[in-house]
Amino acid sequence: MKITPCLLDISNNTRAGDGRLSEHIRGQNKEHLWDDRPPCAVDTIVIHSISAGNVEPRRPFSRTLILGIFCTYGVSSHYLVERTGHVLQLVPEDKKAWHAGGSIMPPPDKRTMANAFSIGIELVATPQSGFTEEQYSACARLCRDIERRHGRVFNYVGHEDIAGETAVRLGLRKDVKVDPGPLFDWNLFRTLVHKPAA
Ligand SMILES: [Zn+2]
């Protein structure tokens, strides 16, 4: 499948917020917005939603503004799926992206700090917009591709499922995450991921 590389590192001059990715990342005295990940079995995909609605309400789906948000908050994700179904790779899969924060897997798993063993996928959406057909289909195709390349079936969780009240109660984080939220159709998504190849 077509995936456009747009790595969050200092060699990337793509526009982000009011500048360039390279400038923002250099300004934080970093070379990239990820950590090394010790060789480990990556077995979980975390679904998120992100928009620039709080930055510029008239341009909530702006790629430039969303890339700026990653830089401003020093966070990252492996993939960004735009409204058109266009997929950008922001972090290499063998690196640890900063997408889940303090987190705990639902029981019976209960592993904490999911960044270590997961791949993060951000879908561009506001809490009200819902998700486009193109996003469901591109995200499912991406997940099938990941499963094929890693040779295993993955766990699928929403950010809200691992960074909600349980994570706060355990002192893993201060705020509750609510993405991708109730408008994300998990049944549709799971059906698309595991449907037999056409
Ligand atoms: Zn999230």
Question: For 10-55, how does the pLDDT look when each residue is reduced to its tens digit (9 = 90+)?
Answer: 999 999 999 999 999 999 999 999 999 988 889 999 999 999 999 9
- CATH number of the domain encompassing residue 83: 3.40.80.10
Residue among 149, 161, 28, 13 nearest 94 (CA): 149
pLDDT of 98 over the 70 cut: yes
Mean pLDDT on 81-94: 98
Instruction: Output the average pLDDT for the chain.
Output: 96
Say what the pLDDT of residue 41 is.
85
Predicted local confidence at residue 196, as pLDDT: 66
145 occurs within a structural domain: yes
Task: Tell me which residues have their CB within 5 A of the ion that is ligand 1.
Answer: 48, 159, 179
CA 82 to centroid of ligand 1, rounded, Å: 15
Q: Tell me whether residue 71 is in a domain.
A: yes
Host domain of residue 109: 4-193
Which residues are the active-site residues? 122
**Which distant-in-sequence residues (6+ apart) come within 8 Å of 73 by Cβ?**
none
C-alpha 26 to ligand 1 mean position (Å): 24
Answer yes or no: is pLDDT of 198 > 70.
Answer: no
Between the CA of 183 and the centroid of ligand 1 the distance, in Å, is 14
In 3D space, the residue among 186, 195, 196, 183 whose CA is nearest the CA of residue 155 turns out to be 186
195 pLDDT tier (thresholds 50, 70, 90): confident
Domain count of the chain? 1
Whether residue 148 is predicted with pLDDT greater than 70 in this model: the reply is yes
In this structure, the number of other CB atoms found within 10 A of the CB of residue 151 comes to 6
Tokens of 114: 């999911």
CA of 159 to the centre of ligand 1 (A): 5
The CA 146 to ligand 1 mean position distance, Å, reads 19
pLDDT more than 70, % of the chain: 98
Query: Is residue 198 one of the residues assigned to a domain?
Result: no
